[in-house]
Amino acid sequence: MKTIELPLPDDFHAHLRQDAQLPGYVRDLSAQFGRALVMPNTIPPMTTAAAIADYKSQILESASFVRPDFEVLMTFKLNPNYSEQDLKDMMAVGVVAGKYYPAGVTTNSADGISDFEAVFPVVAMMEKLGLVLCVHGEEPGEFCLDREPAFIKRVEILAEKFPKLKIVFEHLSSAKAVEAVKRLPNNVAATFTVHHLMMTLDDVVGDALRPHHFCKPLPKRPEDRAAIREAAFSGNPKFFLGTDSAPHLQGKKECPCGAAGVYSAPVAIPLLVQEFDRAGALDKLPDFIAGFGADFYQIPRTTKRIEVVKESWTVPAVVNGVVPLAAGQTLEWKIRD
């Protein structure tokens, strides 16, 4: 049987939730990843060291049953009101990044940023303290497919104004944003999700409405997906994996006003092996899943390994009450237990 050894992957963009489903979500994530950067758009949001420390300990407790050495990298939700001491207190409990959500562009972001310049003082403190700025780059109010391209100018302003700040333009979905990240200096990197690597808008609304593919930013045109794939398969260290795996219970997706989010944690690595293999780029996969991200965040690369075997299996229809990416499909690669 064909077996591939890979470094134990890092997920530099994952959503968990604080509700009763948390242990199941952590189980799925820690089965595939050794480390994860956990997003702060929870209810209530992650804005204090105390709340973040509590969330982190809940996550680690749930992971202890699956992967006792699982590591979580925490984030806080950016707003203009933090003092330098607040940031230091959050760093002391494991925060490595702050997340910029423009107001209203995605799940639980109504309290996001509406005054761009008002956050500059906090961003300047982040630059000084070495905190990474993760950006959900979509411009509120623009037509839905133009929101990401319209936000590029803000990333350019941030990169120019804060040249020592590390900026991650998250979950790229457009060729224009891929181009911008390539062009910008080395303090700007980007994550790619599994679903934006695989889907276009046709997979969301092309023939039928597929609510479990609905996410923010929206998957876009074939040429946008092609730009993402080219960049991921090229071995450019500016681009690394952040799955944006975002669980929502089935009933919250299959309803008149469905939530945005694709639950990819249960299938992320088998799908990536499949895509990189089919593209003849398997040699580029280790750095993409467990190299470039660690380098950018300035944490040591993992020395742990997993094995992926060529063995078919069928993705369950529902996992933890959530319909995962590729539900019901037969995949050709499987993580060895």
Binding site for Zn ion (CB under 5 A): 244
Alpha-carbon distance of 143 to 145, in angstroms, equals 6
- Binding flag, residue 135, ligand DOR (CB under 6 A): no
For ligand DOR, the closer CB: 15 or 229 = 15
User: Could you say which of 175, 181, 215, 315 contacts ligand DOR (CB under 6 A)?
Assistant: 215
Does position 216 interact with ligand DOR (CB under 6 A)? The reply is yes
Among 30, 41, 62, 243, binds ligand DOR (CB under 6 A): 41
Tokens found for residue 102: 């423009």
Give yes or no: 224 in active site: no
The interface mask with ligand DOR, positions 149-178, x = CB under 6 A, is ------------------------------
Among 56, 77, 136, 212, interactor with ligand DOR by CB under 6 A: 136
Provide the 8-state DSSP code for 245: B
CB 273 within 8 A of CB 326: no
DSSP state of 302: P
Q: C-beta of 115: minimal distance to Zn ion in Å?
A: 22
CA dist 300 to 31, 129, 134, 236, 306, Å?
20, 19, 20, 19, 17
Our CB check for ligand DOR shows the closer of 240 and 333 to be 240
From Zn ion, ligand DOR, none, interface partner of 173 (C-beta below 5 to 8 A by class): none
Q: Which is nearer to ligand DOR, 271 or 290 (CB)?
A: 271
How far apart CA 44 and CA 50 sit, in angstroms, is 12
CA 215 to chain centre: 12
According to DSSP, residue 236 is labeled -
Q: Is 106 in the site for ligand DOR (CB under 6 A)?
A: yes
Cβ atoms 50, 95 nearer than 8 A: no
| Burial environment of residue 249 by CB neighbours within 10 A (0 to 12, 13 to 18, 19 or more) | middle
Q: What are the distances in angstroms from CA 211 to CA 168, 208, 243, 319?
A: 27, 9, 18, 16
Q: Identify which of residues 6 and 271 has a Cβ nearer to Zn ion in the complex.
A: 271
What is the Cα–Cα distance from 128 to 139, expressed in whole angstroms? Answer: 26
The interface with ligand DOR within residues 2-31 (CB under 6 A) comprises 15
Selected binder of ligand DOR within 112, 261, 270, 324 (CB under 6 A): 261
Nearer to ligand DOR, 291 or 293 (CB): 293
Nearest to 76, CA basis, from 123, 39, 103? 39
Q: Which helix (H) or strand (E) holds 82?
A: none
Tokens of 162: 């804060």
CA-closest candidate to residue 41, choices 94, 88, 111: 111
> Is 112 or 291 the residue whose CB approaches ligand DOR more closely?
112
Q: Which position among 228, 246, 269, 325 is part of the footprint of ligand DOR (CB under 6 A)? A: 246
249 vs 281, which CB is nearer to ligand DOR? 249
196 binds, among ligand DOR, Zn ion, none (CB under 5 to 8 A by kind): none
Distance CA 243, CA 184 (A): 23
Return phi, psi of residue 335, to 5°: -75, 130
Catalytic pick among 244, 277, 283, 287: 244
Number of residues that bind ligand DOR (CB under 6 A): 11
Q: Quickly tell me which residue has 């929206």 as its tokens.
A: 218
Identify the residue whose tokens are 């450019």. 236
- The site string for ligand DOR over 194-213 (x = CB under 6 A, - otherwise) reads --------------------
The least CB distance from residue 99 to Zn ion, in Å, is 8
Minimum CB distance to ligand DOR, residue 219 (Å):
10
Q: How far is the CB of 41 from ligand DOR (least distance, A)?
A: 5
Return the half-sphere exposure (C-beta side, CA atoms, 13 A cut-off) of residue 44.
6
What residues act catalytically? 244
Contacting residues toward ligand DOR, per CB under 6 A? 15, 41, 106-107, 136, 215-216, 244, 246, 260-261
